[in-house]
Every structure is written in structure tokens, then in C-alpha cells.
Amino acid sequence: MTELELKYGCNPNQKPARIYMENGELPIQVLNGKPGYINFMDALNSWQLVKALRKATGLPAAASFKHVSPAGAALGTPLTETQQKIYFANGLDISPIACAYIKARGCDRLSSYGDWAALSDVCDAPTARFLALEVSDGVIAPGYTDEALEILKTKRKGGYNVVQIDPAYEPAPIERRNIYGITFEQGYNAFEIHEGLLENIVTENKELPDAAKKDLLLALLTLKYTQSNSVCYVKDGQTIGVGAGQQSRIHCTRLAGNKADTWMLRQHPKVLALPFRPGIRRPNRDNAIDVYISDEYEDVLADGAWQEIFTCRPEPLQPEEKKAWIATLSGVSVGSDAFFPFGDNVERARKSGVQYIAQPGGSIRDDAVIEACNKYGIVMAFTGMRLFHH
């Protein structure tokens, strides 16, 4: 198949729409559903990310994409008991590739609502069963077991989008796109991200553990396929905060840091003990947790809306409790797709437990950024490579 006609483009008025190859066959097969224009943009961007993560780390990898940027990405390492609970995976049969997707979606479950899932490995039944429980638009993987495909075909009244991609496919060395009728052309970004990029440590503290190296690789690879400007926080093989598409670096750092804080607060004992009514749908539970963690909860209590979600009124999580709990977060790694222009990025990052940073370097204020890292004993490596993606 050299082309696939689509219902419409980014919006219903944008017709006709299709995906096609100028030479050769499309490297994808639609096994179920009718993916749209944005679905395929998410599918092909997310596939590049998980394929690169698999190559760089040797571990199964998964991503949860929304609007051509990852809401989360993760490696297929085992889930802790707490993670199983906060990601609504307790009691499930879990495989390594299922772990990767559960953690990728767990980075920012609110943003992952209606996501596109990407898997580096063949989708198995445990992964399909978890996907079947979540609100998701589709999935791309190099293959599917028969059982997994049958499970996915029952999702969304049989309309769930399932795409298989040839894992051996390599894109042409030159890529083109049209904007306003004008063709842009550039070389495909085949730059390989590996541990050697982390050798230029410019701070006084030069102790970079292997686990942190793996987390920084995950951050940098995630940034390579995130709409710029972007900053990514990672801990224990999963992204915990992605700040994408902001016009200033500090807003990226704040946005990603706030998401990392929310990720941490979801593990607070009060959150784990929330008295949900039986049968509450997963998205409603996610929304309720987000409101409970936020500063809006007292207003919701006053309106009595809690009665629809909880069996009794939960005691609020006080500001001092939030601050104290977030302060226990440590060992976090941060990547930035371009240099930090000011030390304020370091100041914000360290409030969310950041101890390791990888960024290109090259700012006229590099000395001030390094000084900010030295102030807190943070390890920072200059990679020398910008990772803009548009």
C-alpha cells in the first residue's frame, strides 16, 4: 500500500487528507479502526521515541502521546506496590512492556486521557488488557499477539485504532513538509543519544550513578520527540513531568516541575487512602485526585460535590503537608532540549528533587548556571547538542 486516505486533516474542514509514500510501500498496517491525521502524527512520532529508547537502554519502552508530544514515557522496569495502586494496576497480570506503558501513562494521567500509546515491543495480552481499561485513541507497536489483538478489537465498540509498524523501516535521509504552500527540506534528525553525551560534567560534583545516566538518556530521548521548547523530569526509569511547547525555558521548567510535584503528591498517604465510592470510573477518579491535590479542593467541598465521588468527606491536604511531602522527592534527573539561559531554571528544578541535569550548554551565562548547580551539589553535564523538535 503506497497511500491511505484519511477522513480529514487536523480539522474536519481540511479535506482531502491522506498519508502516502513517494517511493515504496507504507511501513504500517491498520489492523483495526480508522486512524486520522493527528492519530498518525502521534503514532509516528511516538514510535520513533520508543524505538530509540529500546536501542539506547536495551529495555522495553512505551510512550503516551497527546498532540504530537509525550504526556509520558517509561522503561519496562517493575512497578512498586505504590505505583500499582496510583496507576490503577493493582491485581493485574503485568509484563515488562505492560509496566512500561503503565508508567508512561502514570506520569501525567490527566493529560494522557485519550492518548495514543506506543510500544517498542510486541503488544501482549497484559498490555492489551490494561489499554482496554483506559480512555485511549489508539496504539502502535511492531506486532500483536493473537490474544492481544482480540482484546483490543473489543475496545471502543470495535473501533479502537490498532497500527502495526515494520520495525526494520528506516526513513529517507531527507525529509520535507509544506507550510503555507512552501516546501521546507532538511536532513532527518538521525542524531544518536548515548551515554557518551554525559561525559562532559561541568560542575564540582561529578558523581553520576548508572541509574541517573539511564534516566538522563530517557529525558533526552523524550525531548528529541517533544514539541519545543521542552524540559523533562525523570525518576527511576519514567518521566514524571514534561513541559512542552512553551515560549520560555523557565516556563517549561516550571510546568514540568509542577507535574513532577503532582506525580509525587499522588503517592501521599492521604491520597492513597481516599474513600472512593465503588464503581467510580478511572477518569473520574483521576480528576478527583487532581482536584484534591490542587488549591481548589476547599471550594469543591463547599459545593458538596465530593458526595458524588467519595463515601465520606476526605480531610484536606494542607499546604504545609504538600510542601513537606514534595521535599522528600530526591534523585530526580532533568533534561533540557536547549541551554538554560539563567540559573532560575536550576533554582526551580531543585525544588522538585533534581540532582542531575543534562543540557546542551552554550549560553553566555553558563557560568551562572553552573554556579547555581554547585550551590546545591547538583551534577550537570553539557551534551553540546540541541534537540529542538517542531
Could you list the active site residues? 66-67, 229, 390
Dist. CA 124–CA 121, nearest whole Å: 9
Nearest to 257 by CA among 346, 194, 324: 346
User: Which sign, positive or negative, has the C-alpha torsion 329, 88, 335, 254?
Assistant: negative
If you search the block for the grid coordinates 481548589, which residue do you land on?
Answer: 296
Q: Which amino acid is at 27?
A: P
343 contacts 357 by C-beta, under 8 angstroms = no
If you search the block for the grid coordinates 554547585, which residue do you land on?
Answer: 374
Dist. CA 7–CA 362, nearest whole Å: 45
If you search the block for the grid coordinates 503555507, which residue do you land on?
Answer: 180
Q: From start to end of 67-153, where are the E strands?
A: 69-75, 115-119, 136-141
What Rg do the C-alpha atoms of the chain give, in angstroms?
21
Dist. CA 326–CA 349, nearest whole Å: 12
Q: Residue 162: exposed, middle, or buried by beta-carbon count in 10 A (0-12, 13-18, 19+)?
A: buried
